[in-house]
Amino acid sequence: MKFFVDTADTAEIRDLASSGLLDGVTTNPSLIAKAGGDFFDILKDICDAVDGPVSAEVTAVDAASMIAEGEKLAKLADNIAVKVPLTLDGLKACRHLSDQGTMVNVTLCFSAVQALMAGKAGATFISPFVGRLDDISQDGMKLIEDIRQIYNNYEEINTEILVASIRNPTHVLRSALLGADVCTIPPAVLRQLVQHPLTDRGLEAFLADWAKTGQSIT
C-alpha cells in the first residue's frame, strides 16, 4: 500500500518524506488556505519535496473551466495529479485530462457506483471519504470493500483506490486488509502508525539495561 499525506504544510511534508515512507501528497482548497501563502508557490514546493503524485484541486464547477484549470495545474510539475469533484462535469474533465496523459484524482466519492463511473472516465485515483460516511452512521470501510470488488471484476479499470478522510490507524489497517491501493493520511495519524506502548516499554528496558554496562557503541 502507498502512503500519501493529506496536508499542504511543506515543512511537515519534508519531514515525513525524509522517512522514505511517503509516496505522495494530497491537498485541497481548505488545506491550501490553512497553509497560507501563494497557491502555486505552495504546490511547487510540495512537488519538489516528493517524487510521487501531488493532488492539486480545481475550484471551477463546469467542465470547460475545470479543464482549463487542470491544464494549468498540470504544467506546474510532472507529478501533479489534477483533482476534480465527482460530478458529471468533473467526470467530463477527468476524461479529457486523462486522455491528455494527466493524472486525475476524482474526489468526494461516497458510493460504489460513483467509483465505477470514475473508473470508466479514466481516473488515475478515486478518493472515497470513509470518515465522512462514518460521521453519518454509515460504514465507510464497506464502501472500500465494494469498490475493490467492482474494480477487480473489470480488468479494463486501472483506477487506484485512494482512501481519504482517514481519522485513525484502524482506517488504515482495514484499508490494507481490503486491498486498497493508497491511503491519504493526516500527518498526526501517519505518525501514530509507528506507535505502540509495548514498543516504547521495550525500548526503555533495553536502554536501561545498556546504561548499566557503562559502555558506548560510538
**So which residues are the catalytic ones?**
83
Alpha carbon distance 135, 127 (integer Å): 17
Cα–Cα distance measured from residue 103 to residue 139, given in angstroms and rounded to the nearest whole number: 29
CA 148 – CA 53 distance, rounded (Å): 21
